[in-house]
Amino acid sequence: MASATLQIDLDAVLANWRVLDALSGAACETAAVVKADAYGLGAARVAQALMRAGVRKFFVALAEEGAALRQGLGEAPEIYVLSGHMAGDTEMIGDLGLTPMLNSLEQVTRHFEALPDTPFGVQLDTGMNRLGMEAGEWAAVAPIVIGAGPKLLMSHLACADEPGHAANAAQLAEFHHLTDGTGVPRSFAATGGILLGRAYTFDLTRPGIGLYGGAPFAAAHPVVRLSLPLVQVREVLAGETVGYGCAWRAAADSRIATVAAGYADGLLRALSGRATLYANGTPCPLVGRVSMDLITVDVTHLGDLPDALDILCPEQGIEALASAAGTIGYEILTALGGRYTRRYGGGTA
């Protein structure tokens, strides 16, 4: 049986990067965030395409991700590690030339002791209370740390997807307060921050989700198509039920297609009875429960049956599928499982 196919349009990723780069302004460099295997799409392939388009800086969450990316990209690009320099990371950071974004006094001490001559950046907390040094800690060590020549000072916005949220301006003011006059390059904006405008972009922006076609970048080109092959088609008589829990009952004689993907592939069980699949653009309702490896779909109204039904496609992007599941596009993408055949198109620019 053919496995489900995840098509990834690298030209769309590059087009999204170029728009976000233009929005970041001429004086600002635009990096790319490829943590979590480029949000599930394949970090090496995505980053190689972005590198060919001129991207020189990449962000990952973990040193292990940075190590894998270094193998795929070679020595040239800078790879920043958002979790900083954790215990056990020293060898990887040193040997592979990763740049940890130090986020606590403990990490600063660890890095300065273990790898005193290797590059680093610093993460500052401006109100999100997740990662980064707070104002008091920073004040205590800023002269020493800045003297050691950090590559970058950065912070992260908690509410950038809500342009009117008061936290945005408050975090911006705090970031200025912590970093003005340091002379060190600064990075503040991810996708949402870029869309807030030039006051937020500083020297380097760090888009992730916008590259992959997700909100809040509403004008993004869609990047993924996910096609699920039909395993079987059956006639279900009026009154019969389909799937676990007999959760769906046919109101009339129906034709039900069973397609090969389920919640083990990231098609969340919360989509049960709520999602729509598409037969060359024609909507077909998902019926009954999503099971581990299979989904059942009402195709009664179709004339010719296609070989596969799409669950991500131009008619239903990651945000539309996310809202059917009660989640966000980030979770839909990063949940996409390892069983799909990933096919890449474009990306040669």
Ligand X SMILES: *Cc1c(COP(=O)(O)O)cnc(C)c1O
Interface residue list for ligand X (CB under 6 A): 33, 35, 82, 156, 190-192, 206-210
Tell me how far, at minimum, the Cβ of 127 lies from ligand X, in Å: 14
d(CA 237, CA 259): 19
Query: For residues 29 and 59, is the Cβ–Cβ distance under 8 A?
Result: no
Q: How far is the CB of 244 from ligand X (least distance, A)?
A: 34
Q: How far is the CB of 187 from ligand X (least distance, A)?
A: 8
CB of 156 to ligand X, least distance (A): 4
Pick the catalytic residue from 35, 151, 200, 278: 35
Nearer to ligand X, 160 or 275 (CB): 160
Cβ–Cβ contacts within 10 Å for residue 304, how many? 6
Q: Which of 39, 151, 200, 244 is catalytic?
A: 244
Alpha carbon distances (Å) from 343 to 2, 130, 248, 258, 293: 13, 35, 34, 23, 20
Residue 244 falls in the annotated catalytic set: yes
Asked about 151 being catalytic, the answer comes back as: no
**Nearer residue to ligand X within complex by CB, 187 or 316:** 187
Q: Which is nearer to ligand X, 84 or 288 (CB)?
A: 84
- What's the gap between Cα 76 and its chain centre? 23
Min CB(118)–ligand X separation in Å: 21
Residues 6+ apart with CB under 8 A from 110: 85, 87, 90
For ligand X, the closer of residues 270 and 328 by Cβ is: 328
Q: Considering the complex, state which of residue 119 and residue 262 has its C-beta at the smaller distance from ligand X.
A: 119
Paired with 309 in beta bridges are: 228
- Between residues 152 and 209, which has the closer beta carbon with respect to ligand X? 209
DSSP type of residue 6: E
Q: Tell me the closest approach of the beta carbon of residue 162 to ligand X, in angstroms.
A: 13
What are the catalytic residues?
35, 244
